[in-house]
Amino acid sequence: MKMIPDLEALLPSQPSGKHGKISLVGAGPGAADLLTLRALRAMQAADVIYFDRLIDPEVLELANPRAAQVFVGKDVGACAWPQEVINQMIVEAARGGQHVVRLKSGDPSVFGRADEERAAAQAAGIACDIIPGITAASAAAAVLGQSLTSRGQSDRVIFATGTCKEGDSAPDVAALLQPGTTVALYMATRINRDLRRKLLEAGFDPEMPVQVVTSASKRNEAVLRSTLERLPQDMEDRGLSHPAIIFLRAPKHCDPVQTRAALGAEISQ
Q: How far is the CB of 153 from ligand SAH (least distance, A)?
A: 23
Q: Which stretch binds ligand SAH (CB under 6 A): 61-69, 95-103, 190-198, 212-220?
A: 212-220
Window of 59-67, 83-91, 168-176, 237-245 that interacts with ligand SAH by CB under 6 A: 237-245
CB of 184 to ligand SAH, least distance (A): 9
Interaction of residue 245 with ligand SAH, rule CB under 6 A: yes
- C-alpha to C-alpha distance for 31 and 215, rounded to whole angstroms: 10
- Is 218 among the residues that bind ligand SAH (CB under 6 A)? yes
Q: Which of 139, 163, 157, 105 is nearest to 213 (CA)?
A: 139
Does 199 bind ligand SAH (CB under 6 A)? Our answer is no
186 binds ligand SAH (CB under 6 A): yes
**Secondary structure class of 179 (helix, strand, coil):** coil
Does 25 engage in binding with ligand SAH (CB under 6 A)? no
In sequence order, what are the beta bridge partners of 209? 227
- Cα dist from 193 to 66, 162, 200, whole Å: 46, 12, 11
How far is C-alpha 191 from the chain's CA centre? Answer: 16
* C-beta of 86 vs 254, nearer to ligand SAH: 86
Enter the DSSP assignment of 189. G
Q: Is 184 in the site for ligand SAH (CB under 6 A)?
A: no
CB of 124 to ligand SAH, least distance (A): 23
Considering the complex, state which of residue 28 and residue 96 has its C-beta at the smaller distance from ligand SAH. Answer: 28
The CA–CA distances, whole Å, from 248 to 2, 35, 144, 185 equal 39, 27, 13, 8
Sign of the torsion angle spanned by Cα atoms 58, 59, 65, 71:
negative
How many other CB atoms sit within 10 Å of the CB of residue 195?
23
Shortest Cβ 235–ligand SAH spacing (Å): 13
Residue 140 is a binding residue for ligand SAH (CB under 6 A): yes
CB 111 to ligand SAH: min, Å: 4
CA–CA distance, 242 with 251 (Å, rounded to integer): 27
**Under the rule (CB under 6 A), what is the footprint of ligand SAH?**
29-30, 54, 76, 104-107, 110-112, 135-136, 139-140, 186-187, 213-218, 242-245
